[in-house]
Structure 1
Amino acid sequence: MNLKIVLGEDDEIFRKSLIKEITDIDGFEIVYFTEDGEDFLRAIRKIRPEIMITDIDMPKLSGIEVAKKIRSELPDIEIVFITSYSEYIKEAIEVYAFDYIEKPIDKNRLLKTLKRLKSRYREEENFYSFKVKDGYINIRVEDIYMVEANKKKSIIYTSKDKYIVNHSLKEVEEILTHKNFFKTSRAYIVNITKIVSIHSMSRTSLEIAFRNQNYKAQLSKSLLSELRKMI
């Protein structure tokens, strides 16, 4: 699966050249580009890409301003600055930028940066892609606490937020092939590594509580022994 990139760059000639360079590298897809800082911010919030590549000097909002706004909203997004300005390195560090590349850009430097990004995703995570209203969202295995059935859709609860995805619980179960996931009832799938306690709830059900979150899931008592073996 390609890593999604949203690009902000107001120099049209350079932007076209950059798009061509990135398009030639396997594993990446520029899903949106713009020359306007406010539009750039809106696109990132809507698309939620893995990577944002940005110039610093753009109309309405600078690349630094966009990065500062988006960092708290999307803590896992990777930020790459490509700019003519060297004096913003300190601010780039403050928003945990992955790289700061000065123009004129060196093709090999860009290639190395993107290869390192690809390696980071491969080494640090297994992630799954889910259909949502506006497209797709990628969620890391380790971020998922539980999944709850929601009519013909499902709600995925993560360490940062919850997402309504356009999959039935059965479809989500087929997607979540990692050994840490267990279907605890007709309505729930849980990440067993996140469980902190299990308490009786009714004659036929138990309640699962999770580490560092207030989420609750149900466990059918008939499945308790099977879950204990996995834990």
Structure 2
Amino acid sequence: MTEPALLRVMVVDDEPLAVERLQLLLARLPNVTVVGTANEGEAALRIAEAVTPDLVLLDIAMPGMDGIDVARALSTSTVDPAIVFITAFDNFAVAAFDVAAIDYLMKPVQPERLGRALERARAHLAAGGGGSGRAAAGHVEEFWVPDHTGLVRIAASDIDRVTAERDYMRLHVGPRSWLIHRTIGKLEAELDPAHFLRVHRSVILRRDTITGLYRDETGHWTARLRDGGEQRIGRSYVDEVKRLAGR
């Protein structure tokens, strides 16, 4: 059996005992090395820059710069490690997961669950992903979104359409949907344009869900969708949508 790839891990938690416990758990796992620890956000950024970890196990609730702020800063840095959030709370604000993460762990962290999180991180890194859940070309591959049980992972390729609801975007996957805190402009930039197309100021469609286009008697263009629905196309988006049909 092939040994797992070496995973360079950094642990960030404001509770020294929590850091120590994670270090002990990580020491029992094969091909894992702890390259740094930190007890607060500013130090975490400095140390991460110096040790360049593959993965950061990151507590969310910390005084001052919390885990979400640290994750945002890391995602725009030259380090950009994979992120696994750690939390003692089982209720999450939508805005807290504006930064994509590979996984999240509940305290107290269980050895088996930690092992699965590291396996997921290895697979993600092997596929060329970074901490922001992006493909090599810079487009988001997945979203972690809150629901009543905690978090749900949604692959970008599974999203049928996106609709805007004020400061939130609703991701539609089949009959279900989830909210994330984004502007539609930011989400449009994050999704791969080879697979997604903005057709209205408040709607993005996955290209392969569009089965036809027609213009009504008033001159408005509408897209027919694979699920039998329809979507009116905004006037400023008509030319781009018509290129689907080579027009």
TM value normalised by structure 1: 0.47
Instruction: Choose between structure 1 and 2: higher helix proportion.
Output: 1
